[in-house]
Amino acid sequence: MASSGIKDQVAIIGMGCTRFGELWDKGVDDLLTDAATEAATSAGMSIHDIDAFWLGTMTSGVCGVTLSRPLKLDYKPVTRVENYCATGSEAFRNACYAVASGAYDTAMAIGVEKLKDTGFSGLTGIRPVGDGTDPGLSSPAAFSFLAPSYAYKYGVDRDQLKEVMGRIAFKNHQNGARNPRAQFQKEVSMETIAKAPLVAGDLGVFDCSGVSDGSAAAIICRAADAHRYCENPLYVKALSFVAGPAAGPIDPGYDYTTFEEVVRTAADAYAQAGITEPRAQLAMAEVHDCFTPTELVLMEDLGFAERGTAWKEVLEGTFDRDGDLPVNPDGGLKSFGHPIGASGLRMLFECWLQLRGEAPADRQINTVGPGRTLGLTHNLGGAPGEGVSFIGIVGTELG
């Protein structure tokens, strides 16, 4: 298998991100218009200067007209993509390849999701006509299998693990409390987290990400042209994506303590970017904390902690905003909710702010510096053992 990547061939020259939340007064069209306009302004260009568009959304629209109609784009190529919770990242990945191929000078990746109009709790999704044999478990239930399995495998007491999960939620809400774009901008005490009602298995309400509306966008050009638009662009170092064979639910060998899709994309992405010590070389990571045990397992799958040790690192504060490796400094899915199509680009937006030193002082991470200029974004779609995984790595320097 050859995955050569496109390291340093394309650059991000502008980004935009709406506030995420229960935006009762904003429709899909408004969210797209806000994110696209902000991104174009930050790149110092007009939306109509952009050559091609990739739109990521799972449930808020189906074809390219979903974007061209509200923005009144004049006969531009707009590709709508969907890849579950990695949808926003997938829009970005494809836009990058289009520019790297030389087909277009500039492209926009934009993601949007309007979840709060359905009136339902959690995600609803769109499924093809089925045969009625799917057990129909909710997403929290599917991910809740991780907690007891992890506890069992590494001999962690279930109550201890519950505290670890709570600590992850506590950390992400602490970060989100300082972020004006977050859905939840309030710190939550460990006690409140621990006492929350259960949703599935050991997962309480605060172990689950919220449901929100939002949109985010990025504009990409060839790396060589980046300084025509932007003083301090972000260079794309790695893009990796896999869809697994959905082995987990049918393979007795799967033990629900890892995401093989993530392990594969991490190895691929690190190879593309030339990373050998992710924990030391990355300045930050935005990971898919859909549920707190997901973030726990990801710390090991992404190589940030040895197998069986992430729970200790979490309690020691390794991944706090002021820790060795800040994870989800913007507050993550926990604080932003998860408008599917937008989340991947929202993660990238945090790299855009933090790596370029544009985050407000009260939440700027202190890990960025000479020799540590890279940020990682990670999306996971589906459920443990049956999903897709995306990893992107961006940095402020070429080479």
Partner 1 sequence: MSGGIAAWGTYLPYWRLQRSSIAGTLGSGGGRGSRAVASHDEDTTTLGVEAGRRALAVGPGPGAVQDLFLSTPDPGYLDKTSATTVHAALGLGRASGAYDFAGSSRSAVATLLQALALAGAGGRGRTTLAVLSDLRTGLAGSAEERDSGDGAAAFVCAPEGEVAEMVGRGSASDEFLDRWRVPGDADSHVWEERFGEELYVPLAREAFAAALKDAGLAEGDIDHAIVTGLHVRAVKATVSGLGARDGVLAPDLTGSVGNLGAAHAGVALCDVLERAEPGQVIAVLSLADGADAFILRTTDALPDAQRARAEAGVPSVAEQVAAGRDDLTYATFLTWRGQLRREPPRRPDPERPGAPTVHRSEEWKYGFVASRCLVCGFRHMPPTRACLSCHAIDQMQAERLADVPGTVATFTIDHLAYSMSPPVVGVIVDFDGGGRYRCEMTDVRASELSIGDRVAMTFRRVWTAQGVHNYFWKARPAGGSAADPDGERGE
Residues serving a catalytic function are 85, 338
Residue among 102, 119, 370, 399 that touches partner 1 (CB under 8 A): 119
The tokens of 130 are what? 């089925």
Binding of residue 306 to partner 1 (CB under 8 A): no
The residue from 65, 190, 198, 315 that contacts partner 1 (CB under 8 A) is 198
Which of 69, 116, 152, 309 lies at the binding interface for partner 1 (CB under 8 A)? 152
Residues 245-284 that bind partner 1 (CB under 8 A): 245, 247, 249-252, 254, 256
Q: 303-336 as b/e, with b when 16 or more CB fall inside 10 Å?
A: bbbeeeebbebbeeebbbbebebbbbbbbbbbbb
Q: How far is the CB of 250 from partner 1 (least distance, A)?
A: 5
Give the residue with the Cβ less far from partner 1, 77 or 244: 244
Query: Which member of 131, 191, 231, 277 binds partner 1 (CB under 8 A)?
Result: 131
Tell me how crowded residue 51 is: count the other CB atoms within 10 A of its CB.
Answer: 15
Number of residues forming the site for partner 1 (CB under 8 A): 35
Compare residues 291 and 352 and give the one whose CB is closer to partner 1: 291
Question: Residue 390, CB half-sphere, CA atoms under 13 Å: how many?
Answer: 26
| Site stretch for partner 1 (CB under 8 A), options 48-56, 59-67, 138-146, 338-346 | 138-146
The least distance separating partner 1 from the CB of residue 150, rounded to whole angstroms, comes to: 11
Nearest CB to partner 1, comparing residues 120 and 227: 120
Interface residue with partner 1, options 121, 189, 276, 366 (CB under 8 A): 121
- Closer by beta carbon to partner 1, 102 or else 252: 252
Nearer to partner 1, 119 or 180 (CB): 119
How far from chain centre, in Å, is Cα 69?
27
Q: Is 201 in the site for partner 1 (CB under 8 A)?
A: yes
By CB under 8 A, name the one of 144, 172, 175, 215 that touches partner 1.
144
Please, what is the minimum distance in Å from the beta carbon of residue 160 to partner 1?
18
Instruction: Kindly tell me which of 98 and 146 has the beta carbon lying closer to partner 1.
Output: 146
**Interacting stretch for partner 1, rule CB under 8 A, among 4-12, 141-149, 171-179, 390-398?**
141-149
Q: Which is nearer to partner 1, 149 or 343 (CB)?
A: 149
Could you tell me the two tokens for 72? 């009144």
149 binds partner 1 (CB under 8 A): yes
How far is the C-alpha of 170 from the C-alpha of 106, rounded, in Å?
40
What does the per-residue mask of binding to partner 1 show for 62-81, with x meaning CB under 8 A? --------------------
Residue 155 is a binding residue for partner 1 (CB under 8 A): no
Cβ nearer to partner 1, comparing 136 with 370: 136
Of 102, 130, 369, 371, the residue at the interface with partner 1 (CB under 8 A) is 130
Choice from 1, 2, 132, 399 touching partner 1 (CB under 8 A):
132
| Positions in the binding site for partner 1 (CB under 8 A) | 118-122, 124, 127, 129-133, 135-138, 140-141, 144-145, 148-149, 152, 198-201, 245, 247, 249-252, 254, 256
